[in-house]
């Protein structure tokens, strides 16, 4: 299933609206899945996102979900929003500030960035495997600020040069 949500420049989009839309959509799956797709295994959900969408799926993995996550694939994610803000990532250099609708230059802004940034939420991520493929580095896919070199700020992250699956949570038992 594909999830749509308000984009950064849509009314109510950006932080926290976009994230709330995605969280509501994922948590609504148990109610809509029987009607939409009888073969959907809600105990084995995979989230996939690219760039800002990679940030979003990592953020979702740190939230309370009504489904069981088995894998998160974040392609060239923006993992550390504070660092990405200071690096002025994006063609115009203001993508993070426009998404967050604030800067991390004061206490309130820092708190907002901490709530939205996967790098700050790494200990809350509730998935046993994550894959973070990184392509050729262009302005929009820099290793700094995008995945902090090894996934998310010192955590057990995936390689920045290729995709490998890495355990980011407690070990799971397979039957």
Dihedral in degrees, nearest 10, Cα atoms 109, 113, 116, 122: -150
pTM here is: 0.76
Number of domains in the chain: 1
pLDDT tens-place string over residues 77-100: 999 999 999 999 888 999 999 999
In angstroms, the CA 118 to CA 122 distance is: 6
3-class state of residue 33 by DSSP: helix
Please tell me the predicted confidence (pLDDT) of residue 102.
Answer: 97
54-82 as b/e, with b when 16 or more CB fall inside 10 Å? bbbbbbbbbeebebebebbbbbbbbbbbb
Helices (H), the chain: 17-36, 52-61, 81-87, 95-100, 107-116, 118-121
pLDDT over 70 for what percent of the chain?
A: 73
Q: What is the CATH number for 75? A: 3.40.50.1820
7 lies in a domain? no
9 lies in a domain? no
Counting every residue written for the chain, the total comes to: 175
Please tell me the predicted confidence (pLDDT) of residue 132.
Answer: 81
Which residues, other chains included, contact 11 with Cβ-Cβ below 8 Å and sequence gap of 6+? none
In angstroms, the CA 54 to CA 96 distance is: 14
Report which of residues 38 and 128 the model is more confident about. 128
137 lies in a domain? yes
CA angle 24, 14, 55 (to 5 degrees): 75
Please tell me the predicted confidence (pLDDT) of residue 3.
Answer: 78
Report which of residues 165 and 11 the model is more confident about. 11
Please tell me the predicted confidence (pLDDT) of residue 28.
Answer: 92
Query: What domain range is 34 assigned to?
Result: 17-166
pLDDT tens-place string over residues 42-79: 999 999 999 899 999 999 999 999 999 999 999 989 99
**pLDDT above 70 (res 142):** no
CA angle 24, 94, 11 (to 5 degrees): 40
5 lies in a domain? no
**pLDDT above 70 (res 128):** yes
Dihedral in degrees, nearest 10, Cα atoms 131, 169, 49, 161: -30
Arithmetic mean of pLDDT over the chain: 79
147 lies in a domain? yes
Beta-bridge partner residues of 131: 73, 165
Please tell me the predicted confidence (pLDDT) of residue 49.
Answer: 93
């Amino acid at each position: 299933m594909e999830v749509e949500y308000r984009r950064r420049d849509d009314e109510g989009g950006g932080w926290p609206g976009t994230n709330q839309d995605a969280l509501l959509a994922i948590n609504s799956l148990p109610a809509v899945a029987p009607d939409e797709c009888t073969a959907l295994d809600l105990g084995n959900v995979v989230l996939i996102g690219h760039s800002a969408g990679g940030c979003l799926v990592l953020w979702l993995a740190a939230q309370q979900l009504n489904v069981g996550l088995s894998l998160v694939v974040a392609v060239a994610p923006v993992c550390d929003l504070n660092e990405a803000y200071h690096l002025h990532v994006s063609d115009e250099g203001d993508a993070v500030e426009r998404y967050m609708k604030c800067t991390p230059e004061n206490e309130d802004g820092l708190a907002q960035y901490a709530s939205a940034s996967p790098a700050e939420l790494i200990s809350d991520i509730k998935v046993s495997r994550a894959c973070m493929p990184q392509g050729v580095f262009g302005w929009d896919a820099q290793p700094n600020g995008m995945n902090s070199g090894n996934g998310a700020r010192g955590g057990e992250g995936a390689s920045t040069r290729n995709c490998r699956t890495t355990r980011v949570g407690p070990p799971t038992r397979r039957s």
